[in-house]
């Protein structure tokens, strides 16, 4: 409309200019020709005709312009109607999405006032829709700790409204009208070109509950509820640092092992053995100060950290007092059970920089006490370096074993829990020592990790495993698709050479990457979370499946777990072993892990399935895969070759054969 007014105004000015010019022209001609009246008449007529002609031309142009303007206005009106219809359709679409997204969602203004809320948010808030919109702030529904964080993120989002700003996620407590709280994950994203943001709220109460259970399980022993090795090592590391800062600070470590505990298990059963461990831990705790730490390392092995002691004599007096307490019998199931223990002490801790070395030497002193007749304690001194020499010899033997290829793989089958059919293997290393015979990994892996030899050893395991599976898969063709799991230690995982090592192994063996699964512990994943995320994504780009091994025994964060493209969680055998004897503890943990995996689109493998009862319970929980001696013990390569031969003969395209049935043929 503004353009039309401007155009008409210009034409009016043109008419005025033409009229004024003609008048001036006529005036000068009349002055010049006053002496000739007849000529003046002719000139006047000519000027009038010229003015009429120009006026007509101008009017015609104005009419054409008006017509063009009318057509333009009509076209514009059509486009406005079309655009309005599109906007209305778009608004309906996005309002439908907003209302039916399934998550509680709100639009908030720059001042965090809720301007629009969907029905899910209305329901969880406890308020009516009209009481929320333009009346309530999002902060009114969050705990105080979250206020500063959401304000900071909301301000940051709008500072960059002319640039692309990604959504921000954070966890907090949601408080409804009735003061009931739940854990939520808020996703806050700015709306481009405005000072508004959209906030989506996901209820993660059950996930956080499972996380807290898993976190507790990660740092506490499931049987005694004492701190486990991971938590104790943290306390010990802090004590070492404290001793460096304070000259007056001293601490000592006691390593305990129940004498003849295996006899109790074998004669009275594992149930009584578990009860003894609980009673043993309780009696030790009663004799310690609040600042001291008692932890269970596993089996019947315990360790004590005595903090802020006056001198070395105090640690010896504690050991003597505990020895006297443990000479008293334990009453279990109406029977008296004696549980004396051997102690190893490290008192001169100022010489240590690594907590692992203190544990190592306390362990060495404890074994020396056992050799002296049990139910005694021994303080570590230089005479116990024979064990260190033994470890040095073992390291030397390991280095030779790598060059002479004394290692071989055994393969434990992994099966589908639905029908016990074979789906893959886990590669487990065995050391064929020329003098000592077959050595299981528990006796040398820790030494290999400490010395860095774990890297070439893992390379040998992976290389052999991929070559073996490629050979078996070639024989089976499409009859059965198998995978192989290879364990990667924390020492190897974050090395820059890992990606190249894996790619070289796949290339040399010819095995497609989709058949290889790398098993990584939670501890390894969390050593450097950001670097882990980068590395895991690059491994996934290679097509490799990733497995978190012994899930629940280490430490993981849901926020990082959600960012990692993990395919599989392996439930640790410690949960599975007592799933039918401790339904209120272990069973709940297993169910929580299965629920967590399901929400994160991961599959679960249960380790250590040993009994029909465990198999039945896990099947009822819809755990998809399992491994353990109930299906098959780890098999040497020759026996796997025989198994593949049987599968070639017996397998039908329309029938999944049970692994135990195949092995029994």
Q: Can you give the residue ranges of every domain in the chain?
A: 2-92, 101-203, 213-380, 391-664
Question: For residue 205, what pLDDT band results from cuts at 50, 70 and 90?
Answer: confident
The mean pLDDT of 259-268, rounded to a whole number, is 85
Give the 3-state secondary structure percentages of the chain, helix then strand then coil, rounded to 5. Answer: 55, 20, 25
Question: For residue 264, what pLDDT band results from cuts at 50, 70 and 90?
Answer: confident
- Model confidence pLDDT, tens digit, residues 64-100: 888 888 888 888 888 887 777 767 766 677 776 777 7
Question: Has this prediction a pTM greater than 0.75?
Answer: no
Q: Greater confidence, 372 or 122?
A: 122
Pairing of strands 104-108, 197-203: antiparallel
| CA atoms of 491 and 458, how far apart (whole Å) | 11
Q: Is 426 exposed, middle or buried (0-12, 13-18, 19+ CB in 10 A)?
A: buried
- Model confidence pLDDT, tens digit, residues 567-594: 999 988 888 888 877 666 678 888 888 9
Q: Are 187 and 199 in contact (CB under 8 A)?
A: yes
Q: Is residue 324 pLDDT above 70, yes or no?
A: yes
Q: Residue 446 is encoded by which pair of tokens?
A: 């820790």
Question: Closest by alpha carbon to 484, among 517, 451, 453?
Answer: 517
Question: Closest by alpha carbon to 501, among 437, 457, 563?
Answer: 457
Q: Are 181 and 214 in contact (CB under 8 A)?
A: no
For residue 225, the model assigns a pLDDT of: 93
CATH 3.20.20.450 fits 391-664, yes or no: yes
Q: Is residue 556 pLDDT above 70, yes or no?
A: no
**What would the CATH number be for the domain defined by 101-203?**
3.30.450.20
What is the CATH T-level fold of the domain 213-380, as seen in this structure? Alpha-Beta Plaits (3.30.70)
Q: Are 219 and 230 in contact (CB under 8 A)?
A: yes
- Model confidence pLDDT, tens digit, residues 28-65: 666 665 555 566 666 666 667 677 777 778 777 877 88
Q: Is residue 562 pLDDT above 70, yes or no?
A: yes
């Amino acid at each position: 409309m503004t353009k039309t007014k401007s155009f008409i105004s210009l034409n009016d000015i043109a008419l005025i200019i033409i009229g004024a010019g003609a008048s001036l022209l006529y005036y000068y001609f009349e002055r010049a020709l006053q002496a000739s009246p007849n000529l003046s008449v002719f000139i006047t007529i000519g000027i009038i005709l010229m003015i009429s002609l120009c006026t007509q031309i101008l009017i015609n142009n104005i009419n054409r312009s008006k017509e063009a303007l009318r057509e333009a206005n009509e076209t514009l009106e059509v486009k406005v109607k079309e655009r309005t219809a599109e906007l209305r359709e778009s608004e309906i679409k996005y309002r439908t999405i907003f209302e039916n997204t399934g998550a509680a969602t709100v639009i908030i203004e720059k001042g965090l006032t809720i301007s629009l809320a969907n029905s899910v948010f209305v329901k969880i808030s406890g308020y009516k829709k009209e009481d929320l919109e333009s009346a309530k702030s999002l902060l009114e529904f969050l705990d105080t700790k979250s206020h500063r964080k959401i304000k900071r993120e909301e301000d940051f989002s709008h500072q960059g409204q002319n640039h692309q700003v990604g959504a921000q996620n954070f966890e907090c407590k949601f408080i409804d009208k009735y003061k009931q709280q739940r854990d939520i994950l808020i996703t806050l994203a700015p709306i481009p070109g405005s000072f508004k943001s959209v906030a989506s709220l996901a209820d993660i109460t059950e996930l956080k509950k499972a996380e807290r259970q898993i976190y507790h399980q990660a740092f506490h022993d499931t049987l005694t509820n004492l701190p486990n090795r991971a938590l104790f090592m943290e306390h010990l590391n802090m004590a070492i640092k404290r001793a460096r800062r304070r000259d007056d600070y001293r601490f000592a470590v006691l390593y305990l092992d129940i004498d003849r505990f295996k006899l109790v298990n074998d004669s009275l059963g594992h149930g009584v053995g578990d009860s003894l461990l609980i009673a043993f831990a309780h009696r030790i705790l009663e004799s310690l100060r609040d600042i001291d730490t008692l932890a269970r390392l596993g089996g019947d092995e315990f360790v004590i950290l005595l903090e802020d002691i006056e001198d070395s004599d105090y640690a010896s007096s504690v050991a003597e007092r505990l020895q006297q307490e443990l000479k008293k019998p334990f009453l279990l199931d109406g029977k008296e059970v004696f549980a004396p223990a051997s102690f190893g002490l490290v008192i001169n801790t100022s010489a240590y920089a690594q907590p692992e070395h203190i544990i190592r030497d306390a362990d060495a002193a404890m074994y020396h006490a056992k050799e002296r007749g049990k139910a005694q304690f021994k303080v570590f001194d230089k005479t116990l370096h024979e064990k260190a020499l033994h470890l040095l010899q073992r390291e030397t033997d390991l280095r030779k074993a790598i060059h002479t290829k004394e290692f071989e793989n055994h393969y434990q089958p992994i099966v589908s829990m639905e029908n016990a059919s074979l789906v893959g293997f886990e590669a487990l290393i065995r050391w064929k020592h020329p003098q000592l015979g077959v050595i299981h990994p528990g006796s040398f892996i820790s030494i290999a990790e400490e010395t860095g030899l774990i890297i070439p050893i893992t390379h040998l395991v992976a290389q052999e495993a991929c070559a073996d599976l490629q050979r078996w898969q070639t024989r089976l063709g499409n009859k059965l698709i198998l995978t192989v799991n290879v364990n990667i230690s924390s020492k190897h995982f974050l090395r820059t050479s890992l990606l190249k090592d894996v790619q070289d192994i796949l290339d040399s063996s010819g095995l497609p990457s989709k058949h290889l699964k790398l098993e990584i512990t939670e501890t390894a994943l969390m050593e450097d979370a950001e670097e882990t995320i980068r590395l895991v994504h690059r491994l996934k780009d290679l097509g490799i499946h990733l497995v978190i091994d012994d899930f629940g025994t280490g430490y993981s964060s849901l926020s990082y777990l959600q960012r990692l493209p993990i395919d599989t969680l392996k439930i640790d055998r410690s949960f599975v072993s007592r799933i039918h004897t401790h339904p209120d503890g272990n069973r709940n943990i297993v169910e929580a892990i299965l629920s967590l995996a399901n929400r994160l689109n991961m599959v679960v493998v249960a380790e250590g399935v040993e009994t029909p009862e465990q198999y039945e319970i896990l099947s009822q929980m819809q755990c998809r895969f399992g491994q353990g001696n109930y299906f098959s013990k780890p098999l040497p390569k020759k026996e796997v070759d025989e198994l593949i031969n049987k599968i070639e003969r017996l397998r039908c395209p329309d029938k999944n054969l049970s692994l135990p049935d195949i092995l029994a043929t």
